[in-house]
């Protein structure tokens, strides 16, 4: 289930299957963002996906058990330009009537330094699965985690805007920046 938030916010809920572990996390929607930066006609623009949800299991001392699955509603793309935002859901871009969800699924998460990590996985967008490596930083204070990560993607790898092959019309590179604040879920107590 997805919830709508403000234009720069995200909506998210961790929906776990099975018992909750101390390393399961729930995103604070009002403090988290999934931002996009691209270029059109030589000018940069900022946008955001305002709806997504996630399953997150993460403990820095048990990275073998860490996993992240993020589901994004591509129809929630907002850039502040009605012309651009009206085109994005159409067939040549996200084709949301056929592909209403984009999914990032991690395959491994590794430490790369103190407080720094790399999530390898697959991003499936518009029915095309592409390997993605997302570097991110993590700070945990008590039961609150703050994550920041950024990755550059090539829109043509996903068939996005393939009618616009010239970089000067719509830039090929798109930067996606994730900022997440999340609360550790309490472990469930088995009932007798």
Reduce the DSSP state of residue 75 to 3 states and report it. Answer: helix
Q: Where are the beta strands (DSSP E) in the chain?
A: 25-27, 33-40, 43-49, 52-57, 67-72, 77-78, 102-113, 116-125, 128-141, 144-154, 173-184
Q: Is the pLDDT at 14 greater than 80, yes or no?
A: no
Cα separation, 130 vs 71, in Å, equals 15
Question: Kind and range of the H or E element at 82?
Answer: helix 82-87
pTM of the prediction?
A: 0.84
Give 69-97 pLDDT, tens digit per residue: 999 999 999 999 999 999 999 999 999 99
**pLDDT band at 19; cut points 50, 70, 90:** very low
- Nearest C-alpha neighbor of 48 from the set 38, 63, 33: 33
**pLDDT band at 191; cut points 50, 70, 90:** low
pLDDT given for residue 73 in this prediction: 95
Which two three-digit tokens encode residue 100? 């209403």
Q: Is the pLDDT at 142 greater than 60, yes or no?
A: yes
Burial 148-163 (b: 16+ CB within 10 A, else e): ebebebebeebebbee
Place of tokens 């067939």: 91
């Amino acid at each position: 289930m997805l919830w709508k938030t403000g234009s720069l916010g995200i909506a998210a809920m961790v929906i776990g299957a099975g018992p909750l572990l101390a390393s399961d996390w729930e995103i604070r929607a009002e403090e988290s963002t999934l931002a996009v930066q691209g270029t059109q006609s030589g000018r940069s623009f900022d946008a955001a996906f305002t709806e997504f949800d996630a399953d997150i299991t993460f403990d820095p001392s048990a990275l073998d058990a860490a996993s992240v699955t993020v589901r994004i509603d591509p129809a929630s793309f907002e850039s502040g330009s009605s012309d651009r935002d009206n085109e994005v859901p159409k067939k040549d871009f996200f084709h949301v009537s056929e592909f209403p969800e984009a999914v990032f699924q991690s395959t491994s998460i590794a430490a790369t330094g103190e407080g720094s990590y790399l999530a390898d996985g697959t991003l499936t967008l518009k029915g095309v699965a592409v390997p993605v490596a997302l570097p991110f930083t993590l700070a945990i204070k008590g039961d609150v985690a703050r994550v920041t990560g950024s990755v550059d993607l090539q829109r043509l790898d996903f068939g996005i805007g393939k009618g616009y092959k010239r970089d000067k019309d719509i830039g090929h590179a798109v930067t996606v920046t994730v900022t997440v604040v999340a609360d550790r879920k309490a472990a469930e107590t088995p009932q007798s």
